[in-house]
Every structure is written in C-alpha cells, then in structure tokens.
Amino acid sequence: MRVLGIETSCDETGIAIVDAEAGLLAHRLYSQVDLHAVYGGVVPELASRDHIRRILPLLREVLDEAGVRGPELSAVAYTAGPGLLGALLTGASVARALAYGWGVPALAVHHLEGHLLAPLLDDGALDFPFLVLLVSGGHTQLIHARALGDYELLGESIDDAAGEAFDKTAKLLGLGYPGGPALSRLAETAASGDLRLPRPMLDRPGLDMSFSGLKTAVLTVVQKGQYAPEVIARAFEEAVTDTLVEKTRRALAASGAPVLVVAGGVAANRPLRAGLRAMAEAQGVPVFFPRPAFCTDNGAMIALAGLRRLQAGAVDPGLAIRARARWPLTELAES
C-alpha cells in the first residue's frame, strides 16, 4: 500500500508519499512564512491562493522522486480539518479531483491525528496506547490515545495555545513571525537569569493549562524595561516548559499510559524536548518525538495517517469534498 498525502490546513503546502513497507518515499514542503511575515500573521485568503500555486509543482516532484504514477497509489489522503477553511478546500479539492482521475480512493484526514502519528514516520516501534502532548500553533492538548481514532481529551489550554503564546511573546519582544523558533534562538543566548515568570495553573489540580496570563506577565516586564530581551525570552521558555512538563507528568500518572508521544510545532523546541525527556525517564516511560521537520505541518504525517486509516479498513465516502474548520479530535471515531 502506498498513500499520497496533501496538507494545506494553514500556511504550509506539504506533499508526500508513504509506503506501507518502505516507509517515506518522498516529501516536499513549501512554507509561506515569507508571504505572511509582513502582516505579522497568516492572511487566510493569501494562504489559499498560494496553496493553489504550489500543490501541483510539488506533487510532480514527489511523484517523480518516488517513481510512482498516480493510478498506482492506494489512496490520496488530504487534511480535511481543523484549519483555515479556504486553505483546507484547496487541498481537499485537488486531492478529490486527483483521486477521481486516477480511480483511487480519497481519504479525509484529521490534521491532529496526522501530528500525533508523526513519530511513526521514523520509529516503527511506537504502538498504541500512548499519551500525547500535542503542542502546536492552534492546540495545546493532553490526549490519551488508546487506539487509532480512540482519543480521550484529558486536558487542554483554556486560552492561548503554547505555540500562539510563543508567537505573541516573540511579537512583544520585536521578533519576526512566526516567533517560536526565533524566541528560542534568542533565549539560548541568555545566561540563566534572575527573572522568574509565573507557572500558570501549576498550583491547581487538573490537567488544563493557561498561557494568556504568561503573555501579560511578559508585557509588564517588557514595559518596565528592566530586563534584556534574551533574559525575558529565556524566562518565558522556562515557564512554558515547566508548565507543560508538570502537566504531562500528571497526565501520565492519571492515565497510566505506558508511552509518551510529543507532537506539533512546539515539539521542535529544544528545552521542552529535554525537559520532557528527563521527566519521562524519571517515570520510566519511553518518549517519542517526531524529527523536528515533522513536528511542524507537513504532508508526510497526512500520508501516514491516511495509510493507517486505509489499513484499518477506511473506504472512500463518495465524491464529497470534505473540509471542517473546527473539528474536535474526540469526534473522529464518529466521522
């Protein structure tokens, strides 16, 4: 079995082919970061139009590199949500049309299921059940993944997602968009400082998190002008890391999950990876991260999720083009 994956949920056009035996055959990614940077955030209409420009050239490259012809594919998987509706529709329409033309099934994939399966692209040893810490630009969730499609939400951010907090804080510090990686690079240049920012909701039981207060705390510190930007960046990163590590530790204990998976764009963050690794080791729990390039949005994780769905018996639901801007992961089994 061999599945083509198409990802267009936000500002990255990702195309890839994954083979059931040989693994990842080819993948391409085009990031629209430069297009949106001048606006300080993603402009949905520009994103949709740019996906239209990029999909087919990237697709040709991927087919060529994999040495696969369209009709030889087992399915075309596309991100059907959650995400920007217009962006989703471009990928979904192209996927549906290609599948129709090639006479193969089209499969609607949940973006977050793609993220949480991404470590499997490099490590076949991972198997259900596991606990997922999903930390992206739009989501911060602790999920008990019992089986493919069987996901229980244990806790989540009640306001900003972790990636969103990174991006907004980076903006406050005058860094570009998206600010997460830039903020992290800046933090690396700071000596361990005397600035300590609050660890939101750590003093309360439960697995929910909150990051908007942290952003406000940063704003206050920035306005006082007492600390250098790199010291603030480091203090912010430490506060986010401590919060996520502690909530994840509690979720492991509460769920009894034997394995930890960390996924989503913020999973590329080095101090967070180190903190989670140390905590998991202390708990005797193996931890899996996708390689950094597959933490952020990409087509490979969508191809893989499509492949897993196909192996589990998924069939083409017909000629409908599916796109949902909002789509809770917990509704996946029923969809």
178, 200, 290, 299: which one contacts ligand KG4 (CB under 6 A)?
178
Cα 107–Cα 109–Cα 111 angle in degrees, nearest 5: 160
44 contact, one of Zn ion, ligand KG4, none, CB 5-8 Å limit per kind: none
138, 193, 213, 328: which one contacts ligand KG4 (CB under 6 A)?
138
Give the binding-site size for ligand KG4 (rule: CB under 6 A): 19
* 2-7 and 75-81 strand pairing: parallel
Place of tokens 């907004």: 168
Return the number of the residue (165 or 287) whose C-beta is nearest ligand KG4.
165
Return the number of the residue (91 or 229) whose C-beta is nearest Zn ion.
91
136 binds ligand KG4 (CB under 6 A): yes
Between CA 31 and CA 36 the distance in angstroms is: 10
Q: Of the ranges 61-69, 73-81, 173-181, 228-236, which one interacts with ligand KG4 (CB under 6 A)?
A: 173-181
CB of 50 to Zn ion, least distance (A): 17
Does residue 203 contact residue 162 with C-beta atoms inside 8 Å?
A: no
178 contact, one of ligand KG4, Zn ion, none, CB 5-8 Å limit per kind: ligand KG4
CB of 203 to ligand KG4, least distance (A): 25
74 binds ligand KG4 (CB under 6 A): no
Return the number of the residue (141 or 269) whose C-beta is nearest ligand KG4.
269
Cβ density class 5-31: b for 16+ within 10 Å, e for less: bbbbbbbbbbbbbbbeeeebbbbbbbb
Q: Within 249-308, which residues bind ligand KG4 (CB under 6 A)?
A: 264-266, 268-269, 296-297
Return the number of the residue (9 or 74) whose C-beta is nearest Zn ion.
9
Between CA 63 and CA 52 the distance in angstroms is: 18
233 binds ligand KG4 (CB under 6 A): no
Categorise residue 182: left if φ over 0, alpha if ψ from -120 to 50, beta otherwise. Answer: alpha
- Give the DSSP per-residue string, 204-257: SSSS-B--HHHHHHHHHHHHHT-S-HHHHHHHHHHHHHHHHHHHHHHHHHHH--
| Burial class of residue 125 (count of CB atoms within 10 Å of its CB; 0-12, 13-18, 19+) | exposed
Structure tokens at 279: 């905590």
CB of 111 to Zn ion, least distance (A): 6
Classify 262 as helix, strand or coil. strand
CB of 115 to Zn ion, least distance (A): 6
Q: Within 136-165, which residues bind Zn ion (CB under 5 A)?
A: 136
180, 200, 229, 299: which one contacts ligand KG4 (CB under 6 A)?
180
297 binds Zn ion (CB under 5 A): yes
5, 105, 114, 137: which one contacts ligand KG4 (CB under 6 A)?
137
Dihedral of alpha carbons 205, 210, 213, 214, sign: positive
Return the number of the residue (44 or 70) whose C-beta is nearest ligand KG4.
44
- Give the DSSP per-residue string, 22-73: TEEEEEEEEE-HHHHHTTTS--HHHHHHHHHHHHHHHHHHHHHHHT--GGG-
86 contact, one of ligand KG4, Zn ion, none, CB 5-8 Å limit per kind: none
Q: 18 forms bridges with which residues in the sheet? A: 3, 24
Return the number of the residue (105 or 137) whose C-beta is nearest ligand KG4.
137
From the CB of residue 255, how many other CB atoms can be counted at a distance below 10 Å? 19
| Interface with ligand KG4 (CB under 6 A) | 10, 136-138, 163, 166-167, 178-181, 184, 264-266, 268-269, 296-297
| Interface with Zn ion (CB under 5 A) | 136, 297
